[in-house]
Structure 1
């Protein structure tokens, strides 16, 4: 009888350990749930709201109820919200090449300008259906930016404005609908927020899989930032600067976008009230956490100290040296996430969308 009681007690203890590993008190479950509700969902909500304002701005500007400066500010807000979402593209927005509908980069052959010209030539009375049936190059912020900022488009001329306004309105409506649909997929009863909060589900067997997915997306985003900064700096072209390869170069929002992306990654790292990826590191891994904290601070300090827009910095040697220093800071941050953080949490990163670029 004594032996049977011992076996029973051991079995119950093992069951208790199993259940505790899957319960809401599990650190991975708590972190994933907190990030879903306090970081990711608010970021997607903000993105959807910025696109709602963008669509409204296009209509107001084209009706003469808003000036060009206000229309450009609505673009900046949408671009900033989208850039901040880059380290958070887990789930539906990171699938099916949906991101190309929001921003086309790199545009090495001026496809944006050439395809807009062809679209308007073939559709002088452009409708949203024409845009929807066209290339993703035409449907996102890159095309919207072209209309508002490119030197080839003189919006002060009423005839030119009338020609391009249907495209602005169609892009604004497309972005608003896309963001709204994605947000609904996050908020649904069995949507992305729920899948990051309760396990198992059809996407994740457990919270550890969800955390691994979040870290992989963050690593991919940081690597992408290196590409977006390295390409115009000429790091792939033997040091010859390629300023037109910068993200959002027409509006000179390159540094704004990088800062927003870094801030988005930092929110995932820190979480709300300290409930981010950082808290998953044990006390004996505190040194790794401290180095990642300092790496974020170094990148943001470098950005804050720039004092000039990207177009001016890349135009001379001293400016390019400062941008290269920024690149190195981002590279350090990327490597810490890909190697130290992933290794400490037992996560295999594997390949990402930027490998081989």
Structure 2
């Protein structure tokens, strides 16, 4: 737990908080420099960097982020009804001042990274309201993200790290060490299930009555950053095993065969995700689904290893997560 916390969780949140600040600075520069294209390009790249750092810790759905559902403040997704565009359009076209207070009263839909993605990458955003209002909204969202991510990083440093690293009868969240390990493992397992069922499965139409490919159901489709998101999710699981100490622990317990199975399964998925230079949005738009259906198939055995074999080897029991259904 010390390795996971100090080597992965706290540095991950620190990088995320740093990137949101860089994003806010980048948008401020763009809006103050007469909307120069070079600054706009830099702001879009910094959005990508920020999204990458979020995807690297997106699996950490425990701790401070659970309080007040802060995950929704960072990212509203899936967005099957295109609420991102609708809610942003409403804010851009109304007359009221776009103050911090107005943004907080608005829907959570407009306060996260997907909202900024719409404003930076979707051509439709340019046709709603004027440039100044668009700048006011982007800078307001960026400021909100800075506040949320710095708060999360601080809470991990000052309080939650000690709770996760020191399970015991006096610990209100983790009375037993096995509980702490189970929470971490369950969260990362959940992230792999989300890749299989939502990030790839929904766009591929795998659970639809009539299978239909729809690239607009991809996460971050506007920026065409969907594949990078998944790559960072899988890299995070690899980091959990390697830097987080799970592999070393399995080896120390005579579970070298299981550790090898998990690392090889992860490596197979990771390699398959890097077999194309095209974006996932373009791939699916061109009807090239076979490669991604194969990735979904590869994720099945990995999920089984993380859901059954690894908990059994660690002598822990996983609880129900958000992907287990009703």
TM-score w.r.t. structure 1 length? 0.84
Matched, 1:199 2:178: no
Deviations 1:192-218 (A, max 9, x none): 111122232222123222111100111
Cα–Cα, structure 1 residues 203 and 225, in superposed 2: closer, same or farther, change >3 Å? same
Matched, 1:53 2:44: no
Cα displacement (A) at 1:348: 2.0
1:82 to 54, 57, 61: 54
Tell me the residue number matched to 2:31.
62
Report if the CA contact (8 A) 1:124-1:163 is conserved. Answer: no
**More moved, 34-43 vs 276-285:** 276-285
Cα displacement (A) at 1:35: 1.4
Cα displacement (A) at 1:137: 0.4
Cα displacement (A) at 1:116: 0.9
Deviations 1:235-272 (A, max 9, x none): 1223201211100000000001001111111111111x
For 2:101 and 2:299, the matched residues in 1 are separated by 41
Matched, 1:350 2:319: yes
Report matched runs for 1:164-313 at 5 Å.
164-188=134-158, 191-200=159-168, 201-226=171-196, 227-237=198-208, 238-271=210-243, 276-281=245-250, 282-313=252-283
Cα displacement (A) at 1:124: 4.4
Cα displacement (A) at 1:110: 0.7
Cα displacement (A) at 1:45: 0.6
Specify the SS of the correspondent of 2:126. Answer: coil
Report if the CA contact (8 A) 1:145-1:248 is conserved. Answer: yes
Cα–Cα, structure 1 residues 199 and 109, in superposed 2: closer, same or farther, change >3 Å? closer
Tell me the residue number matched to 1:18.
none
Specify the SS of the correspondent of 1:339. Answer: helix
Structure 1 unpaired stretches of 5+? 1-31
The runs of at least 4 consecutive aligned structure 1 residues that moved more than 6 Å come to: none
For 1:70 and 1:121, the matched residues in 2 are separated by 26
For 1:133 and 1:150, the matched residues in 2 are separated by 24
Specify the SS of the correspondent of 1:154. Answer: helix
Report if the CA contact (8 A) 2:167-2:180 is conserved. Answer: no
Cα–Cα, structure 1 residues 197 and 356, in superposed 2: closer, same or farther, change >3 Å? closer
Tell me the residue number matched to 1:22.
none
Matched, 1:119 2:91: yes
Tell me the residue number matched to 1:43.
12
Count of residues paired in the alignment: 318
TM-score w.r.t. structure 2 length? 0.92
Report if the CA contact (8 A) 1:199-1:207 is conserved. Answer: yes
Report if the CA contact (8 A) 1:313-1:320 is conserved. Answer: yes
Specify the SS of the correspondent of 1:113. Answer: helix
Superposition CA RMSD, Å: 1.8
Cα displacement (A) at 1:307: 1.9
Max radius of gyration: which structure?
1
